Amino acid sequence: MSSILSLVTGWPGPSGFGSASSAEQVTEGIDASHLTAIITGGASGIGLETARVLALRKARVIIGARNMEAANEAKKIILEEVEDGRVDVLKLDLASIKSVREFARNFIALNLPLNILINNAGIMFCPYQLSEDGIEMQFATNHIGHFLLTNLLLDKMKETAKTTGVEGRIVNLSSIAHIHTYEDGIQFDDINNPTSYSDKRAYGQSKLANILHANELTRCFQEEGVNITANAVHPGLIMTNLMKHSAILMRILKFFSFLLWKNVPQGAATTCYVALHPNLKGVSGKYFVDCNEIKPSTFARDELLARKLWDFSNKLINSSSKSY
């Protein structure tokens, strides 16, 4: 009840920030000039706002986006405000294993460090369809693409953290919708089953996977003694292009729950807080809502489920990969 009250009122939580805080407010005074960040889906919505605020705080920002025209327009918008900003764009289609591999190769070829990886892009409530690799589209885009991308960039992140002594941070954008998933959490045996497909539960499943991914990364990092953290965030309810497959439903919902909805600067706040704020140094394997840590679902705290998902994801990628 208190979390609903703080959401409606915008009252800050223990972090000093709350649902009414904006991305600029939660990063005020932070100098990120020594940091390089990748953000997927940074061409629109909260991804664009996240990229803008990171650039405003002097970070070097690489936007990964499927639509290069939109990505270049986003870069232009950011540089009009942040004249000395450092923003690059690279093509990335998270629903394509080939594209993810090409993005990783292209980024590594730039010979830049990598301090922050923000796995932001996603799709929501889309009708049943398979990716070009034969994987259910929401699971492919929201989880598998980011899982592979993270794995391909981990060596670069580890190298950067080791040579600079600066903590690396991975931020997975999840959702409160992770609680509305299939009966077993993740449908390992029926991931591509069209008869059991539910657009809402498939979305919830992919968002659960985002949290489990961050948790298993944390376990691996702590086991290896790597100076990188991984956390998951729920950005809040924001009307963006993500809602395009359920626009009418969302408008009706927004009408009856308008107090619970955020604007885009507020929606990007938790991502920016977890990516940049010094108070989160060493904090890993946590789930944040409104810039404050909360406890996710039972499934999201299941260590065995997280390890099973990790192995399943690797096998799915290996079996789906063509000879690129």
Q: What angle do CA 146, 152, 155 make, to 5 degrees?
A: 125
Q: How far is CA 172 from CA 111, 175, 248, 321, in A?
A: 24, 10, 27, 23
84 three-class SS: coil
* C-beta of residue 38 within 8 angstroms of C-beta of residue 89: no
Q: Residue 94 has what DSSP assignment?
A: T
Beta bridge partners of 65: 91
What is the DSSP annotation of 131-154? -TTSSBHHHIIIIIHHHHHHHHHH
Residue whose structure tokens are 């060596």: 155
What tokens appear for 113 in the block? 């460090």
How is the beta sheet containing 228-234 ordered, strand by strand? 86-91, 60-65, 36-40, 116-119, 168-173, 228-234, 287-289, 292-294
Annotated active-site residue 197? The verdict is yes
d(CA 44, CA 32): 22
Q: Which amino acid is at 235?
A: P
Per the residue annotation, which of 197, 203, 273, 287 is the catalytic one? 197
Cβ atoms within 10 Å of 220's Cβ, excluding its own: 14
Report DSSP letters for 284-322, one per residue. Answer: -S-EEETTEEE---TGGG-HHHHHHHHHHHHHHHHHH--
d(CA 126, CA 174): 17
Residues annotated catalytic, as ranges: 197
